[in-house]
Amino acid sequence: MAAIVKTDFNFPGQTGKYVGKVRDVYDIDNNYLVMVVSDRISAFDVVLPEGIPFKGQVLNQIAAKFLDATQDILPNWKIAVPDPMVTVGHKCEPFKVEMVIRGYLSGHAWREYKAGKRTICGVEMPEGMKENQKFPEPIITPTSKAAEGHDEDISKEEIIASGLVSREDYEQLENYTRALFQRGSEIAAKMGLILVDTKYEFGKKDGKILLMDEIHTPDSSRYFYAEGYEERLERDERQKQLSKEFVREWLMANGFQGQEGQKVPEMTPEVVSGITERYIELYENITGEKFNRGEEGSLDETLSRIGRNVTACLESLR
């Protein structure tokens, strides 16, 4: 199966196109968005040179499932999923922050903690914690959304003072973030998983806040296996996890952390295939469903399928 790393569609009513690290987003009539989730993969805010077959489908289908499972908490942008790699939804005015919520001391928060910091994004972290330990209460550690390069940690007070988000809206985003994380944690627990941390993006349409983009995918979230968690924590062992962290760890082990002058290690066919299988494992464990690889076609056949499916969807919205 060929990986889709670039798209160049011309859909009915198309008025613009935005290419992100992973997603190609087409603006339709300044009213709808067509989000094609490519097979590109990024780590340390760098797009890696090789695409990962089926990765886009994994992310798109997990996000669609969790958007449906949380729409009673707040409305979201999704209208339809006309293709395994595509979501069509409402165009919103995005808030210029990402709402990161952490239930456990892992990843970036742990690296900061290990370096001696006890405050992250203006939030105090307790003394005496160990890696992957559960916080007394989940903490919200937002980041500013960078147009390019690295997103930056930012505090609630800085967000409000700078005018990025009004106090009223920001406090509503916090409430939604906690409710979504609670729901995601409950769903994960039923699958024998722990939702460790995740991020949400929100926007506004017609004055109403909507949940946007992806939710609870392995690219935006970290999951641990619940079984054996306490024992591994007690023995200071690494947790068995479901997330993109394994890609970051492979890169770090090969001398790459996205810093200037560092070179991405060679992504051999074996490395790429291994990442594909991990993503499919993630899908099946997170959703409890068998992943459908569909009919394996050429790159041109897959792109043609996407074009047909999306065009038919857009025509139904007119």
Please state the domain extents for the chain. Answer: 14-92+269-317, 94-242
- Under 8 Å between Cβ of 77 and 33: yes
Tell me the two tokens of residue 64: 């669609």
Helix (H) or strand (E) holding 33: strand 32-37
CA–CA dist 55, 29 (Å, integer): 29
pLDDT value at residue 145:
78
Query: How many C-beta atoms lie closer than 10 Å to residue 136's C-beta?
Result: 7
Beta bridge partners of 62: none
Residues in the chain: 318
Tell me how far CA of residue 90 lies from CA of 87, 195, 229, 276, 314, in angstroms.
10, 28, 40, 30, 12
pLDDT value at residue 2:
85
- Under 8 Å between Cβ of 45 and 258: yes
CA–CA dist 257, 205 (Å, integer): 37
Architecture of domain 94-242 in this structure: 2-Layer Sandwich (3.30)
Amino acid at 131: E
Helix (H) or strand (E) holding 120: strand 119-120
pLDDT value at residue 256:
95
The pTM of the full predicted model, rounded to 2 decimals, is: 0.90
Architecture of domain 14-92+269-317 in this structure: 2-Layer Sandwich (3.30)
CA–CA dist 144, 16 (Å, integer): 24
- Under 8 Å between Cβ of 59 and 22: yes
What are the pLDDT tens digits along the chain (318 aa)?
A: 789 999 999 999 999 999 999 999 999 999 999 999 999 999 988 999 999 999 999 999 999 999 999 999 999 999 999 999 999 999 999 999 999 999 999 999 999 999 999 999 999 999 999 999 999 999 999 999 765 555 789 999 999 999 999 999 999 999 999 999 999 999 999 999 999 999 999 999 999 999 999 999 988 999 999 999 999 999 999 998 887 878 988 999 999 999 989 999 999 999 999 999 989 988 999 999 999 998 777 899 999 999 999 999 999 998
- Strands of 38-163 (E only): list them: 42-43, 46-47, 78-83, 86-90, 93-94, 97-104, 119-120, 123-124, 134-140, 143-144, 152-153
pLDDT value at residue 241:
84
Residue from 98, 248, 104 nearest 159 by CA: 98
Tell me the two tokens of residue 267: 């992504």
pLDDT value at residue 219:
85
